[in-house]
Structure 1
Amino acid sequence: MADSITHTHHQVPSPAHHPLQGDKPVHHGIYVPVVGKFSISLVWALLWMAFSIYIAQDWLHDLGQVVGIVPAHLIIWGIAIIPGFMNAFLVAGLLLDRRPPVRHPEMALPGITVLVAAYNEADNIAATLDSIERQGYGGPLQVIVINDGSTDGTADVLATCHHPWLEVLHLPHNVGKAQALNEGLSRARWHLTVTVDGDSYLYRHALENLVRRYLSDPPNTRAVAGAVLVRNSRKNFVTEIQEWDYFHGIAAIKRLQSLYQGTLVAQGAFSIYDTTTLREVGGWPATVGEDIVMTWQMLEQGHRIGFAENACLFTNAPDTWRQFIHQRQRWSRGLIEALKLHWRLLFKRRMSTLFIWWNLLFPYLDLVYTLAYIPGIILALFGIFWIVGPMTLLVLPLGLLINYLMYSVQIKMFTEQGLKVRRNPLGFMGYALFYNLVLQPACVVGYVQEILNRTKQWGTK
């Protein structure tokens, strides 16, 4: 590969993953261990599911008269009973979650390597690097921008960026994000590696908060995902809706997964990793969903993945429905890849295994939503309540409670970071009422594409 820099290649020694691992957290008031919280959440969710099954008997009978008893069970379990279990578990987990404090905030910050893979980011890359400069990170910093064969002038913009910590690697032709990151990883000098997308903006103290969360987490942690939020949320209705998904849904799920010892995706947009572990797993694989596949490989090796809710990065979300659908198709394909390559996680005896089983069920749930629930809505408009009817209204209170809890959790974090939630009622209404009508059929298409082994290209994030 053509390299625009020359430097001495530094040997990365075996790291002391967690210098704080001997410290014991101090608990005030009644302390419920994580296993206890998991048990409480699971029991509550099972009770909710049992109640749902009980009250759904008439619904099952009536729908069975129309489509047959087996299809009726598949439909009702897919649109009501299993999602109800998941939502009840989520509610309990959010109510029980207490984010652990950062230990020894006065401790000197370690050196980090930041990898920025960029393909045709001439309009954004300078601002991304400026946001890194404004971090004022208190430890040694190495930033490697990998220009992945861009054709839009990204190289010219990078030539004007003069930061003492910046190294630029120009690849002669486009090789894809995974390989671009691996090229940068081979040049990483520090024990900790951070990935940042080339069209992103780091909010203040994001790097420090991410690093300190990593250092404070349990000693088997090998990666921590940052909080990714929408940067271009004011552009149009498509981005306004996604603002709520990133702010509400994605962040809440990551918090819950982190609580139970296993965030499932350390996303490439903004995460920190142990450099040695990254190299041991071979870096990012040449797959459609390189970040989820790599994360699951770490999980399969027994490592833990955390989440730093206060390490905020703002990224450009897809601003057309076409781009959005392509993105979610890619995410769905990545899920299938991860399940195919790391199915053994389904049988690991750890709390996070529950979420692996959830992911296994997502194709079924998305298929039922697409082929049964959406037609059921159309039928209900004509007064036919076989699928969508009075029974489905029973899930609304739980849905409202979940949204309230998500909002309460996130607004607290925003306040602590000096951020404000802007008024976006139109986006919220679209998120609550319309979003899944596009999202879940798009996911179904993604599953089919992965089965057919269609290729992936840059531009779908």
Structure 2
Amino acid sequence: MKISEKYYIPVILKFWVCHAFAFLWFLFSIYLSLPWINDLSNIIGFVPSILIIAGIAYFPGYLNAFMVVSLLLDKQPKLKIHNSTKPLSILISCKNEENGIADTLKYISQQDYEGEIKVIVIDNASTDETAIRALQAGQDFKLNLKVICEERPGKNFALNHALSIVDTSLVITLDADTLLTRSAVRLLVCRLLSAPTEICAVAGAVLVRNSRKNFWTKIQEWDYFLGIASIKRLQGFYQGTLVAQGAFSLYKRDALLKIGGWDDAIGEDIVLTWKMLQNNCKVYFEPLAVAFTDVPESFVHFVRQRSRWARGMIEAFKQVKPWNQPTVFARYLTGTNLFFPFSDLVYTFVWIPGLILAFFGHYYIVGATFIFVLPLALITNYVMYHYQRKVFQSLGLKIRKNLLGFFAYVLTYQIFMSPISVWGYTQEFLQLKRVWK
């Protein structure tokens, strides 16, 4: 039995309890790192040593400790409403999706939601038969479907065009390569309707569909299943999910209109969510509303996607400053992102070279890193796996056996992610041309 199931603890108190535990871990890390600081200071000086160790161990350790305790204290509120007849609109922005749009529409037609579902497919400057295939699939699956065209390339233009003709109070955005589980729409809507009125959006759980393809998809499966889902659960616990992702999320139409819809940004969903939070529109996460999407299958496409995400975070900082967020939860959750560029720089230019040095017997950096990072990382991943396994069991889904991807994710993922993120920050700093695919 979880602690929070036996005794009711207010969320704000849980928040500070988790910080207290994380701070104790932080102090313990400092104590254990004293020999490391001494050795490294003899080579590069005291201040640079502290900065490097903070980026490698202290900061990640604090965040991981905070997340572990938060997940242990988390108790997802029970749904007060288990179905709804409220009409809603699903917006699907498409660019050259003729091969997959029919499957996406098929799964929409199989939803157990009792309300009317209106589907708007936005053909965003496609050069193939996306619009024709969508219309045909709409007829085949008896959907209330409309296809519109938006010639200006950019997902924000497509979604804003569709939003201008939406006549329902609830709006879902869905990627054209994303398949919904049977109850995904119903659970997403019921979570919103069961929540306090200030909740304006609910992010669904997006997992990997093509995980069997190759090494890159296998490793991403665990990132989505453990990392992204658990971080969203943590953020949703504090009513501040930082990305109601465009791949599958539900919004109140009035909240979208109030902030002017989606900005012209490569991370349009990140900017949108942060602006919602700034306007006292809190954002939940529903782990049971599961959708499966295709992830990049090549390293080049993986780099482009993740660098876009990093660039989108910088775009969000430009639009919304963490200290301007109205709640302590949102200020903390957005504020922690301020440290990611520093941490990624340290990982890229210090930790990775330190890993190479370790192969030659020089343990100035990596040897001590594992004292702080690896044990807590393993505990964190165990806690995340425990929660995600319960989600899958409740949905009647099975976790694929993907041990190679799991160990690659735990042991090597940061080696890829930090340099890719640094490249994304650099792109935004230099205002390089945006590349979506």
TM-score, normalising length: structure 2: 0.96
- From 166, 182, 192, the equivalent of 1:214 is 192
Which residue does 2:15 correspond to in 1? 38
Give 3-state SS (helix, strand or coil) of 1:450's partner: helix
Alpha-carbon distance change, 437 to 395 in structure 1, aligned in 2, over 3 angstroms: closer
What is the alpha-carbon distance in structure 2 between the residues aligned to residue 95 and residue 246 of structure 1? 20
Which residue does 1:438 correspond to in 2? 416
Which residue does 2:73 correspond to in 1? 96
Structure 1 contact 346–356 (Cα < 8 Å) conserved: no
Which residue does 2:147 correspond to in 1? 168
Q: 424-433 vs 111-120, which deviates more?
A: 424-433
Which residue does 1:343 correspond to in 2? 321
Which residue does 1:67 correspond to in 2? 44
Which residue does 1:13 correspond to in 2? none
Deviations, residues 269-318 of structure 1 (Å, cap 9, x unaligned) = 00000101101111110011100001100111111000010001101100
Which residue does 2:115 correspond to in 1? 139
What is the alpha-carbon distance in structure 1 between the residues aligned to residue 368 and residue 254 of structure 2? 55
Deviations, residues 309-344 of structure 1 (Å, cap 9, x unaligned) = 000110110001110110010000100011111015
Give 3-state SS (helix, strand or coil) of 1:319's partner: coil
What is the alpha-carbon distance in structure 1 between the residues aligned to residue 357 and residue 5 of structure 2? 54
Give 3-state SS (helix, strand or coil) of 2:89's partner: strand
Q: CA deviation at 1:170?
A: 2.3
Give 3-state SS (helix, strand or coil) of 1:351's partner: helix
Give 3-state SS (helix, strand or coil) of 1:409's partner: helix
Which residue does 1:363 correspond to in 2? 341
What is the alpha-carbon distance in structure 2 between the residues aligned to residue 266 and residue 56 of structure 1? 38
In the alignment, structure 1 residue 424 sits paired with structure 2 residue 415: no
Give 3-state SS (helix, strand or coil) of 1:201's partner: strand
Q: 385-394 vs 89-98, which deviates more?
A: 385-394
Which residue does 1:400 correspond to in 2? 378
What is the alpha-carbon distance in structure 1 between the residues aligned to residue 416 and residue 86 of structure 2? 43
Which residue does 1:126 correspond to in 2? 102
Q: Which amino acid aligns with 1:104?
A: I
Which residue does 1:78 correspond to in 2? 55
Q: CA deviation at 1:433?
A: 1.8
Structure 2 contact 84–186 (Cα < 8 Å) conserved: no
Which residue does 1:110 correspond to in 2? 86
Q: CA deviation at 1:108?
A: 3.3
What is the alpha-carbon distance in structure 2 between the residues aligned to residue 308 and residue 29 of structure 1? 23
What is the alpha-carbon distance in structure 2 between the residues aligned to residue 391 and residue 198 of structure 1? 41
In the alignment, structure 1 residue 227 sits paired with structure 2 residue 205: yes
Q: CA deviation at 1:28?
A: 6.5
- From 427, 433, 436, the equivalent of 1:455 is 433
What is the alpha-carbon distance in structure 2 between the residues aligned to residue 432 and residue 226 of structure 1? 24
What is the alpha-carbon distance in structure 2 between the residues aligned to residue 122 and residue 246 of structure 1? 26
Q: Which amino acid aligns with 2:321?
A: W
Alpha-carbon distance change, 282 to 394 in structure 1, aligned in 2, over 3 angstroms: closer
Q: CA deviation at 1:140?
A: 1.5
Structure 2 contact 241–283 (Cα < 8 Å) conserved: yes
Q: CA deviation at 1:346?
A: 5.4
Give 3-state SS (helix, strand or coil) of 1:352's partner: helix
Deviations, residues 140-161 of structure 1 (Å, cap 9, x unaligned) = 2111000111112212312322
Which ranges of 4 or more aligned residues in structure 1 deviate by more than 3 Å? 344-349
Give 3-state SS (helix, strand or coil) of 2:329's partner: coil
Which residue does 1:24 correspond to in 2? none
Unaligned runs of 5+ in 2: none
What is the alpha-carbon distance in structure 1 between the residues aligned to residue 124 and residue 197 of structure 2? 35
Structure 1 contact 370–441 (Cα < 8 Å) conserved: yes
TM-score, normalising length: structure 1: 0.91
Q: Which amino acid aligns with 1:257?
A: Q
Q: CA deviation at 1:347?
A: 5.8
What is the alpha-carbon distance in structure 2 between the residues aligned to residue 422 and residue 179 of structure 1? 37
Q: Which amino acid aligns with 1:167?
A: K
What is the alpha-carbon distance in structure 2 between the residues aligned to residue 419 and residue 168 of structure 1? 33
Q: CA deviation at 1:390?
A: 4.2
In the alignment, structure 1 residue 311 sits paired with structure 2 residue 289: yes
In the alignment, structure 1 residue 154 sits paired with structure 2 residue 130: yes
Which runs of structure 2 are paired with 1:228-267 in the superposition (5 Å)?
A: 228-267=206-245
Q: Which amino acid aligns with 1:375?
A: P
What is the alpha-carbon distance in structure 2 between the residues aligned to residue 195 and residue 237 of structure 1? 29
Q: CA deviation at 1:164?
A: 3.7
Q: CA deviation at 1:62?
A: 1.1
Structure 1 contact 45–86 (Cα < 8 Å) conserved: yes
Structure 1 contact 124–198 (Cα < 8 Å) conserved: yes
What is the alpha-carbon distance in structure 1 between the residues aligned to residue 252 and residue 5 of structure 2? 31
Alpha-carbon distance change, 81 to 174 in structure 1, aligned in 2, over 3 angstroms: same
Structure 1 contact 142–189 (Cα < 8 Å) conserved: no
Q: CA deviation at 1:441?
A: 0.3
Structure 2 contact 389–399 (Cα < 8 Å) conserved: yes
What is the alpha-carbon distance in structure 1 between the residues aligned to residue 291 and residue 408 of structure 2? 24
